[in-house]
A = this chain, B = another copy of it.
Amino acid sequence: MNISPTNPAQNPLLQTHHRQAKVRDTHITLAHGSGGKAMHDLIDDIFVNNFNNPILSQLEDQASFNLASLLQQGDRLAFTTDSYVVDPLFFPGSDIGELAINGTINDLAVSGAKPLYLTCSVILEEGLPVKTLRQIAASMQAAAKNAGVQIVTGDTKVVHRGAADKLFINTTGIGVIPTGINISSHNIQPGDAVIINGELGNHGAAILIARGELALETNIISDCQPLHSLVETILNQCPQIHAMRDATRGGLATVLNEFALSSHVGIRLDEQSIPVDEKVKSVCEILGLDPLYLANEGKLVVVVGREHADTVLSAMKSHPAGKNACVIGEVITSPPGIVLLKTTFGTERIVDMLISEQLPRIC
């Protein structure tokens, strides 16, 4: 029998081995993190068979890729990491698995990179239903497939009951930045336009409601979505983007404060032009929250020279993830490091970075 070390997908022994492994336990036990047979079966059954790709199936302690073929796709490697601790694990519109894939894809995409490979490292609490883990892994694979990325290596740890909150996921991603693209929070210039791809705050509001601690019922769903294809569409039309970032924890306000500090510029927002869903607005009014600080998981902030704003807007509107794109503000010289908001009443106020947060732990 031919055992090929380079292509386990064509290796009948490995395939048989994987198909045989099956977790029969209904709940995660410490044995599943032991390094022993229970762990190997869990990894084979839930992750390797599900994420199904020839790199992961090698079961080496590391994935490896040909550098020359990466270099054909661009001149720089992008590298980013994020841990996902969202509570609840499942919420309207998405779940922790999809979030862990899309979130890391987005952190690569906002550098202009084409996302390629992700790791998946899970910390499981003893007692977690195996069915839940299986469902989340399937959700990760669906998101990865949808975005054209592969989950190529991973790690599984189990901690005793009470030492973690059900399940945490870390994904770390690599991608390649095309030659000629230079996107950075340090590149912003006075006169630049600030553009957003759609309504703010849906993810944060959805999580808050899903926790069930408030006597509120709405049908707000998370905006969790991958942004790399939208970014690609934008860069195809306008490679001269100055800065991009997805507005996650801390919301739009935090991203713009980071931009203002990094580029030593001011930013003036126009409240009237900032899109917020009516349902999210209602929740914010009832709870006294500001949608500018609510988390998003599919919102892209783009800063570009004024002369390119129309090109970028029409590129964004041509894409499903950008159809509600609009200009929401401009970059100004002074005061440096400060974000201002021209309110609907015509007054102006500072939109500072919050010291703490409005909501506990939502992304």
Q: Which residues of A contact B (CB under 8 A)?
A: 3, 5, 8, 13, 17, 29-31, 33-40, 58-68, 70-71, 74-83, 85, 87, 107-108, 110-111, 113, 117, 119-123, 152-155, 157-160, 162-165, 168, 170, 172, 174, 176-177, 184-187, 245-246, 248-251, 254, 258, 261-264, 295, 352-357, 360-361
- Min CB–CB distance A229 → chain B (angstroms): 18
Docked-complex contact A35 and B357, CB < 8 angstroms: yes
Complex Cα gap A254–B39 (Å): 11
Consensus secondary structure, chain A interface:
mixed
Nearest 9 CB-CB pairs, A to B?
A: A35-B250, A34-B357, A35-B249, A31-B356, A5-B186, A172-B172, A62-B80, A81-B119, A163-B165
**A13: B residues at CB distance < 8 A:** 264
Given contact pairs A30-B361, A33-B249, A33-B357, a sample of 19 additional A-B residue pairs in the complex whose CB atoms are under 8 Å apart:
A5-B184, A31-B357, A34-B250, A35-B251, A36-B354, A37-B353, A62-B79, A63-B78, A64-B77, A64-B78, A64-B111, A66-B76, A79-B153, A85-B159, A123-B123, A157-B361, A159-B165, A172-B172, A174-B174
- Min CB–CB distance A112 → chain B (angstroms): 10
Partner of A67, one of B60, B70, B123, B170: B70
Complex Cα gap A110–B110 (Å): 33
**A66: B residues at CB distance < 8 A:** 75-77
**A184: B residues at CB distance < 8 A:** 5, 58, 60
Complex Cα gap A187–B4 (Å): 9
- Nearest B residue to A188, CB-CB: B5
- Nearest B residue to A155, CB-CB: B82
Copies in the complex: 2
Complex Cα gap A330–B104 (Å): 44
Docked-complex contact A61 and B245, CB < 8 angstroms: yes
- Min CB–CB distance A22 → chain B (angstroms): 14
**A185: B residues at CB distance < 8 A:** 58-60
Docked-complex contact A36 and B68, CB < 8 angstroms: no
Docked-complex contact B37 and A355, CB < 8 angstroms: yes
Partner of A83, one of B157, B176, B356: B157
Known contacts A37-B355, A85-B159; A68/B75 CB under 8 A: yes
- Min CB–CB distance A48 → chain B (angstroms): 13
Docked-complex contact B62 and A107, CB < 8 angstroms: yes
- Min CB–CB distance A252 → chain B (angstroms): 11
- Nearest B residue to A41, CB-CB: B355
- Min CB–CB distance A194 → chain B (angstroms): 17
Complex Cα gap A249–B119 (Å): 19
Complex Cα gap A230–B176 (Å): 31
Docked-complex contact B176 and A67, CB < 8 angstroms: yes
